[in-house]
Structure 1
Amino acid sequence: MARKKHPRQPLPPRGGLSASRIRHPGPDPTTAFEFVVRVIAEQRHRHPEDTEEAVMERFAQGQVVLIDASPVNPDDLIQPGTDVFFYRRPAPETPVPYEIQTVYEDDDLLVVDKPPFLATMPRAAHITETATVRLRRATGNEELTPAHRLDRMTSGLLLLTKRRDIRGAYQELFAARQVFKRYTAIAPELDLAVPTVWRSHIEKRHGEVASNNVKGAQPNAETIVRSVERLQPAQEDALHRVHETEGPLARYLLEPVTGRTHQLRVHMCAAGAPILGDPVYPVVKAFGDEDYSVPMRLKSIEIAFEDPLSGQARHFAAQSDVV
């Protein structure tokens, strides 16, 4: 099957960020200036200096365009259904005090160990403090793109492609669940016979932070628990002090067979062992109420697959375990 080719964006990525594509919803035409000003004003997270003067400067520099890359003038009428492209100005963000570690690199791929608190891709309040933007700025490669995603709070292996013409092949590999994955998590110790298989129906509703287990529905999520190992006393005591917890703690080796949103976190919590540091399960913490010294103890430690371009067996492992 031929891979679907995505059209090139009329504005190239800049400073690690792709241009925004905004469709005029209607019902009436409006000037391009009024349209862009309204879009920026309605942003939940916007830069305080992104004023009408800053918008006019975008027009003067030819940085507001249509799908064919033709520049738009401030007084041009934008018809309903028309797509307009321009660069947003990210709001100030609190720097995440962790570094991204390179695990492997060749001409096509970059595999890194993503730290917790760093989102994979720009979204909502997290734009510049994301793995994609940080790595594009550090390498100067604006085509660097993740082939998959890790939750913001999850650390570990993240694979990125270095060229636009190959990204689809690797993204499809992950989307088709043709990648073997292993994670480790630290949580209260459960008395489990291993391997154990957890199956449930997980749904993520739009606008809600947490995913939900739906009782009685056909399972769509499966996780294999390969091992459960009690932590050494010294490490257990150290984690109790950080997380203000008590009781036996264990390291879980997990293999997600499927890839539902927050699947491992939902399954661990449902089993009675919520992952240490999880800000959503079992209780959703308020936005912004986070302590960078208290990360979630879930890490992607292993990925393996058959390379879609060369057919070569690929295997990558994190250089350190979850701690």
Structure 2
Amino acid sequence: MGSARRRPPAIDGVGASRFQVPPGPSATVLDALCAAFPAIPASQWRERFARGHVLDADGHPLPANAAARAGLELHYYRDVPDEPLIVGEARVLHRDAHLLVADKPHFLPVVPAGRFVRDTLLARLVRQTGIDTLVPLHRIDRATAGLVLFSVEPRTRDAYQALFRERRIRKRYAALAPALPGRSFPLTHCSRIVRGEPFFRMREVDGEPNSETRIEVLSRDAAHWRYALEPVTGRKHQLRVHMASLGAPILGDPLYPDLDETALAQDGAPLQLLAQSLAFEDPLDGTAQCFESEQSLFAPSPPGRGPG
């Protein structure tokens, strides 16, 4: 049996992306990449080739005129000109031979996406720790702060991924949202969530539920309540959609119940949602594990008043 290929090393904390040439008329690797990613100009791909940022399956740099064939495996490094930098510290709360637990600030994406490549939680952690085998075991929204669990050791990764697949991990969030005085708590909200419009929003529809959230009230103020949210399932934007559907959209949410394009574009007031704790039985030795975020949520001050 041949040895497994190792992915190319990270550059400035950013790992290489994998690409497989699809069937088609492309004569060169450059042609195939331009056809697959039409939003990226050919000149940008040529710059990547020139810097040695397009590699074959064994990690050797390829020339732009390398012959393309269906099924050919490549790796390439992404770059985004004028990428915005995210203010806020990502802290490592726990690290052992198998797991790393990070506490991320609002607005920091977990992995590269869209206009964020270098300044992501994953890239920061790779730069900070030097561990280029890090892989997030789950995701939280860029707008959400709090805990993210990473696998360090590839050989035990599936055992920890199974915790999420089999719902053997307890995820608890804190949220600030308007009061819901007419409801009894704790309550469980179930619904069917599907893609909405625009493509990055979700919505509830009639049909068999595919999402479930348990909701408790922790404290009650005149303007807002503090909630504990436990997602049983893991649908995109599930907590945000469920709270908005109940009539208590999470404070600072630019997507629900209505889209606020201005707030979404400029990263204004942070979404008052925190991935507060993760608890599970370790699949390797059976010990009870529980991790708590060191962050807190603070309601916006009333107009004309500063923080107390």
TM-score, normalized by length of structure 1? 0.82
Which one of 158, 175, 188 corresponds to residue 168 of structure 1?
158
Read off the aligned partner of 1:29 and give its amino acid letter. S
- One-letter amino acid of the counterpart of residue 65, structure 2: D
The aligned runs of 1:1-323 (5 Å cut-off) are 8-36=5-33, 42-43=39-40, 50=44, 52=46, 54-58=47-51, 61=52, 63-69=53-59, 72-191=62-181, 192-204=183-195, 208-215=199-206, 217-231=207-221, 248-286=223-261, 289-292=264-267, 294-323=269-298
Residues 293 and 103 of structure 1, relative CA distance in 2, 3 Å threshold: farther
1:109–1:159 CA contact under 8 A, matched in 2: yes
Name the amino acid aligned to 1:65: L
Alpha-carbon distance, 1:187 to partner = 0.7
Report sequence identity in percent.
Answer: 35
Residue pair 1:37, 1:55 contacting (<8 A) in 2 also:
no
The corresponding residue for 1:238 is: none
What is the deviation of 1:105?
Answer: 2.6
Q: Which runs of 5+ in 2 are unaligned?
A: 299-308
| Greater mean deviation of Cα atoms: 84-93 or 150-159 | 84-93
Q: 1:85 offset after TM fit, Å?
A: 1.8
Cα RMSD over matched residues?
Answer: 2.6
Distance 1:319 1:229 in 2: 19
Deviation at 1:33, TM superposition (A): 3.7
* Residue 75 (structure 1) shift: 3.0
Summarize deviations over 1:129-163 as a string: whole Å, max 9, x none: 21111111122221122111111111111111222
CA separation of 1:15 and 1:168: change in aligned 2, threshold 3 A: farther
Query: 1:14 Cα deviation (Å)?
Result: 2.6
3-state DSSP of counterpart to 1:152 = coil
8 A contact 2:12–2:118 mirrored in 1: no
Q: How far apart are 1:26 and its partner, in Å?
A: 4.0
Offset from partner CA, 1:23-55 (integer Å, 9 cap, x none): 333421312244446666633xx8x98363x23
- Could you say which residue in structure 2 is the equivalent of 1:243? none
Aligned-partner Cα distance in 2 for 1:108–1:120:
19
Secondary structure, counterpart of 1:30 in structure 2: coil
Aligned pair in 2 of structure 1 residues 13, 74: CA closer, same or farther (>3 Å)?
Answer: same
Structure 1 gap ranges (5+):
1-6, 232-246
**Deviation digits for residues 249-274 of structure 1, max 9, x if unmatched?**
11011111111111110100000000
Secondary structure, aligned partner of 2:177: strand
SS in 2 for 1:78: coil
Q: Count matched residues.
A: 294
With structure 2 as the length reference, what TM-score do the two structures score? 0.85
